[in-house]
Amino acid sequence: MRKMPRQTRARATVDAIHEAALQVLESVGLDKLTTTRVAERAGVSVGTLYQYYSDKDSLVHALVVAYLGRVERAMHAVLEEEGSLPALARGFVRRFIAFKLEGGEGSEARRGVYLAGAGRTVANEATRSFVVALAKGIQARQPSWPLAHATEIANMWTSLVFGGTNAMLERDAGLVAEAWFGESLERAVLAVLREPGER
């Protein structure tokens, strides 16, 4: 981002640009998304858009970062809740599924942007950061466990929940809303809880 929006009006402009970019992305796809189309849809001049983004790629990158910020906030909220380790596991699964179902990700076109190219790199960095926080949350609930063990479990949880949910969304998004899907993920996540050294 070239210029940080500090005033309310500037933040509203950036929000309008982001929303317009998502709408253009859904209607014509990434290849046909242009800064001119986005500016027109947002009701701003191209010059105004260029005050914040130097080109299409920097705008798309900002969309990915904004999306991942929403994911992180939703997931970190789980860590702030009190409760046992099994409660954390269940809360983690439920919160991630709820986020996906509440339109946190959007259309197939959006998912493609979030999971491809530079978006994938940013997503991997965000996931690594969350794994560190999740491992600390696991260890806080199980203080006798070494951090390395808690990190191993955090990695397995994120792989199961993020990977399983995203894969099912690609196959049949309707199934993610069915109770059995969340219950199955909860059982899988709980199944990897084990004491250090257990196989």
Q: 187 is written with which tokens? A: 């059982």
Q: How far apart, in Å, are the Cα atoms of 133 and each of 70, 130, 167? A: 16, 5, 24
Average pLDDT, stretch 62-66? 86
Using alpha carbons only, how large is the chain's radius of gyration in Å?
Answer: 19
Cα separation, 51 vs 155, whole angstroms:
39
Q: In which residue are the tokens 């992305």 written?
A: 25
Average of per-residue pLDDT values in the chain: 87
Global pTM reads 0.78
80: pLDDT strictly greater than 70: yes
137: pLDDT strictly greater than 70: yes
Element (H, E) at 55: none
**What 8-state DSSP symbol labels residue 192?**
T
Burial of 100: CB neighbours in 10 Å, binned 0-12, 13-18, 19+: buried
Q: How confident is the model at residue 3 (pLDDT cuts 50, 70, 90)?
A: low
What is the reported pLDDT for 147? 95
Nearest to 148 by CA among 137, 140, 139, 157: 139
pLDDT, tens digit, for every residue of 13-61?
A: 999 999 999 889 888 888 898 999 999 999 999 999 999 999 998 898 8
Higher-pLDDT residue of 75, 132: 132
What is the reported pLDDT for 199? 65
What is the reported pLDDT for 5? 60
pLDDT, tens digit, for every residue of 96-119?
A: 998 888 765 555 666 667 666 667
Give percent of the chain with pLDDT exceeding 90: 50
198: pLDDT strictly greater than 80: no
Q: 5 is written with which tokens? A: 């929006």
What is the reported pLDDT for 81? 87
1: pLDDT strictly greater than 80: no
List the single range of 14-23, 72-81, 99-108, 173-182 with lowest mean pLDDT: 99-108
